Chain A
Amino acid sequence: MVSPDIVVIGAGVIGAACAEALSAAGARVTVLDRGAPASGTTAAGEGNVLVSDKAPGPELELAQASRKLWPELLAALAEELGPELADAEWEPKGGLVVATGDESAAPLRDFAGAQRAAGVRADPVTAAEAGALEPHLTKAITAAVHYPEDAQLQPVLAATALLAAVRARGGEVRSGVRAIGIEADAGGAFKAVLTDRGAIACAAVVNACGPWAGAFAADAGAPIAVLPRRGMVLVTAPLPYTVRHKVYDADYVGAVASGDADLQTSTVVESTGTGTILIGSSRQRVGFEERFEVRVLAELARKAQRLFPILARVPVMRAYGGFRPYAPDHLPIIGADPRVPGLWHATGHEGAGIGLAAATGRMIADLYAEKETAVDASPFRVDRPAVIEEVAA
């Protein structure tokens, strides 16, 4: 067997996007996953490709680049693999953020204004215009902003399409293989990835283990601070086309930016390509505790019902949870680890990994090729204090 150039650990959407971009640049890539591809955080994602929830700053820049890249990437995959195998239910449906209280109206307008200055399309709309965009939306809104650039895709389809491209280019995707560390030669140069199925010689390894990235980093001798934050989503029975945009309550922005361990929920209501409506989303720091709490589901339901009263008597058939990976400073970690030659990280995308995956993959490939990156990569570098000092301490 020919040795790969690069091994990517983690076959979620971030690992898949890194592997796709690296293989597009000519590298021979092997992707490993301890479970099955796209079965962890990716399978629990809502498929958000958002610019609306990000304040001006490096993450917004990455999000804007990724929003532009995703449709190009999917179109290229459709060329290469055929439309069916590349289908990811891409839907540039736009987002609608509404404030339902007096206290959140002004912050929403200010937030949108700052985003506009950073190049985001954030169009303030009247309550009547919001009602025209979303006929079933509650009338009790105090402010609304339309974000035409927000989009959605189905994360498992996206990840598996990216992996299909990796395989089509001669790469390999191996399920049920657990990476347990790395091996260096006598001179300290990177030599191989160690797995429970043996060593795989390669030139570099990308740690894309999502919320579990901290464990692999530690095994590789270069600990990073990545923590899990649990989220829950409700899924309704299939419905007629009822909710047209990604609709959320303005308090979403506050929840994303907070590090508070207590339960936070802010309503996100959106239809999927298959007719169900997803109702998110909660954020809790409870480690890797998988069991859900009824109080969390109840709060999600209460808020969704307030936003869309028509959903009150609709069946909720499923609730699912997942773990978002976050760094203490809430920025993704993308780049080479200066402490261990050959070790790269791509993790810490919190709830935005689906959206940021396309640009993250590209950034890793560009950094690996020592090319200039489309977005300044320095805010995401591994050796920033929030990522390596907290774990070292």
Chain B
Amino acid sequence: MRVRVDGEVCEAEEGQTVAGVLLAAGRNSWRSTRRGGRPRGVFCGIGVCFDCLVVVNGVPDVRACQRRVEPDDEIRTQHGAELPS
């Protein structure tokens, strides 16, 4: 299947999580914190820490390690706190 990551088309397979896709593509951070602007990616990997947040189809605060990709998902970096679009 294909998804888009920050506007670029990316190959993904059924059963992959957003974090799985991003890490396999060589990225290890995709969020900046709202106070310090610090980069963050996966930390706990099992849905506990809420560090790997990403925007999926316009909805922010989605845990990349828990969310399975679906065809044509629009995935993008989350900058601090965002409102759903």
Q: Which residues of A contact B80 (CB under 8 A)?
A: 240
Neighbouring B residues of A313 by C-beta, 8 Å: 59, 84
Q: Tell me which residues from 64 to 85 in chain B have a Cβ below 8 Å from any Cβ of chain A.
A: 80-84
Q: How many residues of B contact A (CB 8 A)?
A: 8
Which of A239, A310, A312 interacts with B81 by CB under 8 Å? A239
Within the complex, which residue of A240, A242, A275, A315 is in contact with B61, where a contact is CB–CB below 8 Å? A315
Contact A275 B34 (CB under 8 A): yes
Residues from chain A with Cβ under 8 Å of B61 in the complex: 237, 315
Residue of A nearest to B79 (CB): A240
Asked if A114 CB lies within 8 Å of chain B CBs, one says no
* Pair B59/A275 contact, Cβ less than 8 Å: no
Alpha-carbon distance A313/B60, docked complex (angstroms): 9
- The residues of B that contact A312 with a CB separation of less than 8 Å are 84
A314→B84 contact, CB < 8 A: yes
Q: Is the CB of A314 within 8 A of B83?
A: yes
Residues of B close to A237: CB separation below 8 A: 61, 81
Shortest Cβ distance from B82 into A: residue? A240
Q: How far is the CB of B60 from chain A (nearest CB, A)?
A: 8
Cβ-defined contact, A275 with B83, below 8 A: no
Contact B34 A310 (CB under 8 A): no
Q: Taking the complex as formed, is A113 at the interface, i.e. its CB lies under 8 A from any CB of chain B?
A: no
A315 and B82 alpha carbons, distance in the complex (Å): 11
Chain A residues, Cβ within 8 Å of B81 = 237-240, 275
Return the CB mask of A236-272 against B: 1 if under 8 Å, else 0: 0111101000000000000000000000000000000
Interface positions, chain A 283-311, Cβ under 8 Å from B, are: 310
Chain B nearest CB: distance from A136 CB in Å?
9
Residues of A within 8 A of B83 (CB): 239-240, 242, 310, 314
Residues of the A chain whose Cβ atoms lie less than 8 Å from the Cβ of B34: 238, 275
User: When each residue 309-323 of chain A gets 1 if its CB lies under 8 Å from chain B and 0 otherwise, what string results?
Assistant: 010111100000000
B84: chain A residues at CB < 8 Å are 310, 312-314
**Nearest residue, chain B, Cβ from A310:** B83
Q: A315: nearest residue on chain B (CB-CB)?
A: B61
Bound complex: CA A160 to CA B36 (Å): 26
What's the Cα separation between A315 and B62 when bound, in Å?
Answer: 10
| Chain B, 14-71, CB within 8 A of any chain A CB | 34, 59, 61
- B residues with CB within 8 A of A: 34, 59, 61, 80-84
Instruction: Identify the 7 closest CB pairs spanning chains A and B, nearest first.
Output: A313-B84, A238-B81, A315-B61, A239-B81, A237-B61, A240-B81, A275-B81
Name 10 interchain pairs, CB-CB below 8 A, sorted by A.
A237-B61, A238-B81, A239-B82, A239-B83, A240-B80, A240-B83, A310-B83, A312-B84, A313-B84, A314-B84
